[in-house]
Structure 1
């Protein structure tokens, strides 16, 4: 986690890099794939350990402006559509990549390059060549921001977003659809223009959204004590989350009905004082409720922040990728702590 934060802070100076391994990921180095892997196969199936490096990815801002001390200056918004010149380099299966944008933790729809490109919450790219810089431009009107604000802009990649299990050869996303984040401050020299972003989300995707808190339990701590023991002391500096379907924590797949509703619960807990904005996604499209797309919660000591919602099953496809992304919005209040964007493991909803 600390390595990720290090890259987050260095994103202004160097291209961020991610080496993707079977069963996990590392931010230490870039390695070439050692053999050919069929992108339609899931190399992360449980009980099938692999050591092959599947690919690598790096991305970052280009044409950055520097101050007199050589530090990268913030981006500036001066009205209309903001254009951000960007570049990505990848190899192996990482050449299939998608990007999220968040402004102050709020999910941001955007266009790519051409004026006729549609506004989407995620655009998918299929890069042609290994380890070749591919420049492009993000284009969008910010979803939030007032004159005088300085807000954090997050650009986050999703590895191999096109993959989806078929419940025959594969039943899990495994190490696919992990994230890599770059960030930069955005100064608003005028208010963000008013734009109706409703058409770009899945309207009515979330119903009966409720935000609440509940006391921390030892049972929940035990559930998260997999790699290391999670106790109350760990919660002072770290943040944990979990996704529940009809009351049960799920991480791989969940069978749904053709009609009715599915009750989903997202629980976030840990570092007291941290504030997050959380967005729910189906097939990489943000789900919208009456109150909006991204929901703000604040973590408090000894408590769990809970977001409950219902999903209309008739609006889902037979195979759907479902996950939740939580973005910290006051990380600068805790400069000595590791505070990063969190995404739940992708979950297959299938009939």
Structure 2
């Protein structure tokens, strides 16, 4: 069992991962966001007052096959569409949740419950009853994988994805849009069928993509030395990332023009040897170029992996949620370390 405690001024989040059962729980106090609620309300207030109401959420594979040690067996892909039975339940004010799926670090569009549904990178659920399991099914054809491969399947929840600051009552995402990952191996008995990402990804939103590296600076180390003094040796077991817009760090929001571009630099550094697939999202949809949806980086000691790109502002809505998800490709190479999915805080791009 692993616990992660995340604390902001008003927000307390406890995440518990039960790795054997594939069960994921987290507790939070915030404003409920349902289909009927105003998703632009202050997440820390109810009727103008700060709230202390707690909630909880849990999601897991349904009746997974296990071995004699009660460890989950891999999923199998035998061709056609893969169906994964899953469930989620919540109580209190934690009932708005979206799911992202990754296969070998690559974002996986999926259908919700039936083959007749449309492919989306995220489906958002609004749960109505406390502590009642809501079963559902991920339906998809894997975007990658060949016969004989054993790849990691990551199912990642995004907490309250419907919330967007309105720049009147709220300007920050607070503790919203945090993630919790559940993973399982996927064994391929047949080759995955080709999937055309251009039919669902947001193409034409990003351009001038360039992947480089630069040295870790003392300023970067000082930036992350809140709880302890960091040095290069401390980075051997930890990972940090940061977003820059036109060369400046933005933590909550950035005002953008109607036309032109904004230059984004995503920087990730730390644990040497870890490989990541990095995916850029806008309003929970993948930003892709002609070559694909994700960009691979490998962390090296003393260096920062940098992905530069330009976002076409004419394509954006008046309020857009932007973030980057980095999925490790070789976490099993470091069994003694905590190597997990990383997500940047969500940033609001508004006109």
Q: TM-score, normalised by structure 2?
A: 0.90
Q: Distance in 1 between matches of 2:125 and 2:202?
A: 21
CA separation of 1:65/1:127 partners in 2, compared to 1, >3 Å: closer, same or farther? same
Is the CA contact 2:20–2:70 (under 8 Å) kept in the aligned structure 1?
Answer: no
Q: Distance in 1 between matches of 2:39 and 2:193?
A: 41
CA deviations on 1:136-185 (whole Å, 9 max, x unpaired) are: 00001111101111100000000100000010011000101100110000
Instruction: Give 5+ residue unaligned stretches, structure 2.
Output: 5-14
Deviation of the 1:92 alpha carbon = 3.1
Q: Distance in 1 between matches of 2:49 and 2:158?
A: 22
Deviation of the 1:51 alpha carbon = 7.0
CA separation of 1:11/1:125 partners in 2, compared to 1, >3 Å: closer, same or farther? same
The residue number in structure 2 matching 1:88 is 88
The residue number in structure 2 matching 1:19 is 27
Aligned 1:109-188 pairs, distance under 5 A = 109-188=109-188
Aligned 1:164-313 pairs, distance under 5 A = 164-313=164-313
Deviation of the 1:11 alpha carbon = 3.3
CA separation of 1:49/1:256 partners in 2, compared to 1, >3 Å: closer, same or farther? same
Is the CA contact 1:78–1:190 (under 8 Å) kept in the aligned structure 2?
Answer: yes
Deviation of the 1:39 alpha carbon = 5.5
More strand, by proportion: 2
Secondary structure of the equivalent of 2:164? coil
Deviation of the 1:54 alpha carbon = 4.0
Q: Distance in 2 between matches of 1:286 and 1:101?
A: 12
CA deviations on 1:221-260 (whole Å, 9 max, x unpaired) are: 1112233332212200000000111111111000000000
Which region of structure 1 is more displaced relative to structure 2, 271-280 or 10-19? 10-19
CA separation of 1:303/1:14 partners in 2, compared to 1, >3 Å: closer, same or farther? closer
CA separation of 1:54/1:255 partners in 2, compared to 1, >3 Å: closer, same or farther? farther
Q: Distance in 2 between matches of 1:164 and 1:54?
A: 21
Secondary structure of the equivalent of 2:94? helix
Q: Distance in 1 between matches of 2:198 and 2:279?
A: 14
Is the CA contact 1:19–1:53 (under 8 Å) kept in the aligned structure 2?
Answer: no
* Count of equivalent residues: 336
Q: Distance in 2 between matches of 1:307 and 1:266?
A: 5
Which region of structure 1 is more displaced relative to structure 2, 287-296 or 63-72? 63-72
The residue number in structure 1 matching 2:97 is 97
RMSD over aligned Cα atoms = 2.3
Is the CA contact 1:44–1:175 (under 8 Å) kept in the aligned structure 2?
Answer: no
Secondary structure of the equivalent of 1:93? coil
Instruction: Give 5+ residue unaligned stretches, structure 1.
Output: 23-31
